[in-house]
Amino acid sequence: MMTSWVDTSCIITVFLSLIILSNYRVTAMIRVFALQSFVLSLLPFFLHASSLSGRDIFIVLVTMILKAALVPYILFWAIRHVSMRSEIKPIIGFGASIILGALVIAGAFWISLSLTLPGKPASDLILPCSLSTVLLGFMIMVTRTRAVTQVLGYLIMENGIFLFAVSLFDVMPVLIEIGILLDIFVAVFIMAIVVNHINEEFEKNMVSVSRSKMGEAF
Amino acid sequence: MLTLLIAIPFLCALAVFLPVSRDFRLKLFFVISLAHALIVASFWSHQPLEEYNGFLVLDSLGLILLSIISFLFLSVSIFMIGYFKHEKRSNRLFTACLLFLLSTMSLVAVSYHFGLLWVAIEATTLFSAPLISFHRNQQSLQATWRYLLICSVGIALALMGTFFLAIAAHDVHTLLLPVLLKGASSLSVNWLKLSIIFFIVGYGCKMGLAPTHSWKPEAYGQATGMVGVLMAGALTQCSFLALLRIAQICNKTGLTEFYSSILIVSGILSLAVPAMFILGEKNIKRAFAYSSIEHMGLLVLGLGLGSVGLFGALFHMINNALAKVIMFLTAGSVAQKYGSTRSDEVTGVIHIYPLTGILLIAAFLAGIGMFPFATFHSELLILNAAIISKHYLLAAIGVICLAFMFIGVGKIVLGVIHGKPKEPLLAKKENIYMNVAIAMAVLLLIGLGLWMPRPLENLLHNAVSLVGAV
């Protein structure tokens, strides 16, 4: 019963990454990302449904607060200037992105055929879905020009790794798990500050720079 | 003791945000660095006990890195006192980040769990990023962004490597190094190979190995000299420690061949790429950044070749760090005096600042690996290892690349030193603190080049046997 929930979450995660890939409004992307993190943060519930421990609940809460609430909040803060809220000229167009994305997902499923997890995995979909999410995140990072969108790409990559990591939760001590989450949070925090500085620098040189270039990551 | 070493700088970094004067912050940083150095020096005679159930352990490899970190921070803290005499910008965030960096780097040196190691290395990336954009202008923000993004992706790949390692270690069920080494035979080889590839790409990205080196010239070119020292001398070598830890596992599981072939290829690539780009360079700091890529290439090449090469690589860790102190601090001192380090804007340094000019020559010779600087010996050891293991072509390529570096760096540095002097605009006088900090490293590096002390030799031999290279 619970396995079907795990499968569903995995598939939703990949679909949400595809939606972010095909979107051009940054605010919408951040909302979708928050939803994706929320779905992922529930995964430990589904995985350990029969024997839920205090540790699972703790991880779920921390992930939810950090990834689904605080990180999107910081990103919204970083783009509070209206002028940089849409991705104007991606390196690969939106239509081509989706086709490439589909190919990437197919590739991820094909690769994971040859990888066998030791022990008994909770779901066969975890490995291919996490690989596709990582690759889609990477694609967003390299094909978009806005600084914020690149941060989102990085975060989606991290979400993919997280999906992979939940199936191995018992190997890492809980403190290190929290350390990893905190590190990612601080990373986003610092990236948001740099994005903010980049915007300020552009505003200072407004005369020489056309408005559409604002917030672009060089 | 190990906990204190990490906790004290961390707490002081928080204290820096309190309303205190800028001089107090500089003094605090100096005192903390000195205390750190003294504690680390005491570790040479008494090895500290393991803490937190074996999560924090200081072994010979860690001690080498920890001593390097300690010395680098001490020289930077002395240099900073002089530097901020002429710098009007607030040093609050700068000192705080430096202290955070000291704390997290110490954690890297003593962590014995692969997850913890990752957390610590990622934290060093984050706290070093704000340091690069100290002069907040467009170029430095661009450099910071590039550094942050490239290294974050690299580090994310290393995280994947860590999880793959966790899968490989499904039977032993932990990522503690001693347990992994003991249960090496039960590791799943396929997953281990996959994790090794991700580790090399991830941590190699952080080390600045070619082809993921592109953040290096940007970041080092824009960062102040002090930050350049810490990044090129300590931060990159923290990632090298991670590669050494993986070598420990590989040597236990019979994957030495697999691991070393990848290392040798990336080492040679990191030697060749800077040699190609150095000749067109005009900025001293960027030239030194290319030299740093080259040194990282030598390190992994040494590790890949094993035995003598490994000994050379470990020795080179120390020498590289000292050379980086001389190179980047002198570049920083020139940058402050002239407001630039470009060879078309700065000329004739030796006529106006004889001492800085001489130090610049020392920086050039140390960076390039000339006798009597100890970099000469370690580079020779690594090339020697290539010849002993009958990789003649490898040795030849190495020598040619080093020759290119010699010409490239020499052309820029000598151009800055000689020529018609230009009047500097900012600071008129030599600063004693700055020069003392650099001179310390010069003397130490020459000293090591002439005579290797017994304790150091023992430490290096211990470290080599710890890695267990065949």
Which residue, B377, B376, B367, B389, is CA-closest to B438? B367
Which residue, B123, B129, B130, B120, is CA-closest to B150? B129
A-interface mutation test, from B114, B167, B174, B194, most A Cβ less than 10 A away? B167
Q: What is the pLDDT of residue A110?
A: 93
In contact, B356 and B337? CB cutoff 8 Å: yes
B-interface mutation test, from A112, A136, A141, A190, most B Cβ less than 10 A away? A190
DSSP state, residue A85: -
Q: Is A205 on the interface with B (CB under 8 A)?
A: yes
Q: Which residue has the tokens 């999560």?
A: B55
Q: Is the pLDDT of residue A84 over 70?
A: no
Both tokens assigned to B252: 């236990």
Contacts 24+ apart (CB under 8 A), B388-395: B388/B307, B388/B308, B389/B305, B389/B306, B389/B309, B391/B264, B391/B305, B394/B264, B394/B268, B394/B301
Which pLDDT band holds residue B424 (cuts at 50, 70, 90)?
A: low
Q: Is A204 on the interface with B (CB under 8 A)?
A: no
Residue A202 has a CB neighbour count (10 Å cut-off) of: 21
Q: What is the pLDDT of residue A87?
A: 65
Q: Is A12 on the interface with B (CB under 8 A)?
A: no
Q: Is the pLDDT of residue B425 over 70?
A: no
Task: Quickly count helices (H) and strands (E) in chain A.
Answer: 9, 0
Angle of helix B138-168 relative to helix B215-222, nearest 10 degrees, comes to: 130
Both tokens assigned to B100: 């955070």
Q: Is the pLDDT of residue A208 over 70?
A: no
Q: Is B111 on the interface with A (CB under 8 A)?
A: no
In contact, A63 and A37? CB cutoff 8 Å: yes
CB–CB contact A168 B130 (8 Å): no
Q: What is the pLDDT of residue A206?
A: 54
Residue A211 has a CB neighbour count (10 Å cut-off) of: 9
**A91 — phi, psi (to 5°)?**
-65, -35
Task: Please state, in angstroms and rounded to a whole number, the distance separating the CA atoms of residues B79 and B94.
Answer: 14
For chain A, the distance separating the N- and C-terminal CA atoms, rounded to the nearest angstrom, is: 49
DSSP code per residue over B288-331: HHHHHHHHHHHHHHHHHH-THHHHHHHHHHHHHHHHHHHHHHHH
Which chain A residues touch B142 with a CB distance below 8 Å?
218
CB–CB contact B113 A187 (8 Å): no
Which of A119, A134, A194 faces B148 most closely, judged by CB atoms?
A: A194
Which pLDDT band holds residue B53 (cuts at 50, 70, 90)?
A: confident
What are the structural domain ranges in chain B?
2-467
Residue in A closest to B142 by C-alpha = A218
Q: Is B130 on the interface with A (CB under 8 A)?
A: yes
Triad A203, A93, A130: Cα angle to 5°: 95
How many Cβ pairs closer than 8 A exist between chain A and B? 96
In contact, B405 and B290? CB cutoff 8 Å: yes
Q: Is A57 on the interface with B (CB under 8 A)?
A: no
CB–CB contact B145 A147 (8 Å): yes
Which pLDDT band holds residue B426 (cuts at 50, 70, 90)?
A: low
Q: What is the amino acid identity at position A40? A: L
Q: Tell how far CA B11 is from the center of its chain.
A: 24
Residue in A closest to B143 by C-alpha = A218
Which of A154, A161, A218 faces B152 most closely, judged by CB atoms?
A: A154
Q: Is the pLDDT of residue B391 over 60?
A: yes
Which chain B residues touch A193 with a CB distance below 8 Å?
130
CB–CB contact B122 A198 (8 Å): no
DSSP run (H or E) holding A129: helix A126-143
Arithmetic mean of pLDDT over chain B: 91
Q: Is B89 on the interface with A (CB under 8 A)?
A: no
* For residue B211, cis peptide bond before it (omega within 30 degrees of 0): yes
In contact, B183 and B171? CB cutoff 8 Å: yes
CB–CB contact A218 B145 (8 Å): yes
Task: Please state, in angstroms and rounded to a whole number, the distance separating the CA atoms of residues A32 and B16.
Answer: 38
Q: How many residues does chain B have?
A: 470
Q: Is the pLDDT of residue B322 over 90?
A: yes
Which pLDDT band holds residue A26 (cuts at 50, 70, 90)?
A: confident
Beta bridge partners of B342: B283
The residue-averaged pLDDT of B127-148 equals: 89
Beta bridge partners of B113: B176
Task: Please state, in angstroms and rounded to a whole number, the distance separating the CA atoms of residues B440 and B302.
Answer: 27
Tell me the shortest Cα–Cα distance from A213 to chain B, in angstroms: 14
In contact, A200 and B136? CB cutoff 8 Å: no
Which of B130, B173, B194 faces A171 most closely, judged by CB atoms?
A: B173
The residue-averaged pLDDT of B311-331 equals: 95
Burial of B82 (0-12, 13-18, 19+ CB in 10 A): buried
CB–CB contact A183 B122 (8 Å): yes
For residue range B145-155, list pLDDT tens digits in order.
Answer: 989 989 999 99
The residue-averaged pLDDT of B116-132 equals: 93
Q: What is the pLDDT of residue B35?
A: 95
**A86 — phi, psi (to 5°)?**
-135, 150
For residue range B283-318, list pLDDT tens digits in order.
Answer: 999 999 999 999 999 999 999 998 899 999 999 999
For residue range B69-99, list pLDDT tens digits in order.
Answer: 999 999 999 999 999 988 888 889 999 999 9
Q: Is B461 on the interface with A (CB under 8 A)?
A: no
Which of B119, B141, B194 faces A176 most closely, judged by CB atoms?
A: B119
Using CA of residue B334, residue B340, residue B341, residue B342, what is the dihedral sign? Answer: negative
Q: Say what the pTM is.
A: 0.92
Q: What is the pLDDT of residue B195?
A: 94
Q: What is the pLDDT of residue A155?
A: 93
* For residue A118, cis peptide bond before it (omega within 30 degrees of 0): no
For residue range A29-60, list pLDDT tens digits in order.
Answer: 999 999 999 999 988 888 877 777 888 888 88
Burial of B21 (0-12, 13-18, 19+ CB in 10 A): exposed
DSSP code per residue over B170-198: TTT---BHHHHHHTGGGS-HHHHHHHHHH
Chain A, 135 to 194: residues with Cβ < 8 Å from chain B are 138, 141, 147, 150, 154, 157-158, 161, 164-165, 168, 170-173, 176-177, 179-180, 183, 186-187, 190-191, 193-194
Residue A79 has a CB neighbour count (10 Å cut-off) of: 22
The residue-averaged pLDDT of B250-276 equals: 93
Q: Is A19 on the interface with B (CB under 8 A)?
A: no
DSSP run (H or E) holding B159: helix B138-168
CB–CB contact B163 A165 (8 Å): yes
Which chain A residues touch B156 with a CB distance below 8 Å?
154, 157-158, 161
